Structure 1
Amino acid sequence: MSTFLFPDNTVLINFAYIGRMDLLARLTGGRGAWCQSVATECDNSSRFEGLDELATARKIFGTPWLPESGAEHLSIRLLRDEMASPGDGPTKHLGEAETIALMEHRGVTGFFITDDEDAARKAHARGIRSSTTWDMLALALRAQWVDADTVFGFVTVLRQRRRPIPRAIGRDRASFDSWVSSVAPSS
């Protein structure tokens, strides 16, 4: 059985901002999949400045998965409501909820790639493994598809775009280098 990698739109945006959707494609290794809500979010996000590279996501993740049963639809709504805060619009957290519900109901072997800590906790509670943008970049470092200087450049770009950066990466080069040593030790 294939292991699928399902992204959250947040991760897609990060890779688009750093101009490396090609790296995300390489990391997914032809095993990318996504749900309709994330595909729709991605299409909507691609209209914003600096995110036109999101248009390539359809080539990476293919035809979006759709909920097929009443049980899937119900799980999506319940999970989305569980993650929502007062005042959130009706589609806030919908992509995360749909991804988790479809993976759970269909017994998908794979990873949910998300930077949303609450969504990752919900996925873990259902036996679904998750990773983050930063786990994916660490994998690219270990595979030597990018070097530390390049990833530090990604950190700079994402910081300028006010994207969340993990505390472990820190705010300076020394902290970043410490993170690199912990995720991609030299051989």
Structure 2
Amino acid sequence: MQARVCHAEAPQPSQAAFDEPRFRRALGRFATGVVVISTGSGESLHAMTANAFMSGSLEPPLIVVSVGHRARMHERLMDSALFGVSVLSDAQEPHSRHFAGEAQSWLAPRFAAVEGLPDVVLLEHAAARFAARVVNRHPCGDHTLFVGEVLVFSLDEHAPLIFFGGRYGSVAGQGALQDLSPLAASSR
């Protein structure tokens, strides 16, 4: 059996400005989950939607979130020792929109306190939840990568909310991606 070799389109250097909208669309071809990052509690609670989240290490247990310098969350995480990450379930699309700046006036998000960690609250009914201690911050262009050591986590049996190509979806049945609705361009 002989393998067929396909060559990717070679990037062409040009004098033209970098095509940021096209680059954003290319990045949108990578399907991700959707999380709500939180820090503080009570009146000092701040939360934001993100899809730049990943596992960092199993030993020690580390997670990583990427937050833009212009986001209010960036300043909060620069000054915070703890943060939370709630992996949204497919029923929590309104939460994603709400914490992305598209207020859902009818929504009353419910956060649960984490015992022993007074400045971490996590969304109820999320597919997974992590409370972490910031152990490192790495500059990354116009973002900062915040590395957190997981102190506590929980897992529920909810299907995750998926984001792909500017639209929400969910995993249904045999792993098929079900389209839910587009995300407004202004909220990302």
TM-score in same-fold range (> 0.5): no
**Radius of gyration: which is bigger?**
2
Give the number of the structure whose residues are more often strand, by fraction. Answer: 2
Give the number of the structure whose residues are more often helix, by fraction. Answer: 1
With normalisation by structure 2, the TM-score equals: 0.23
With normalisation by structure 1, the TM-score equals: 0.23
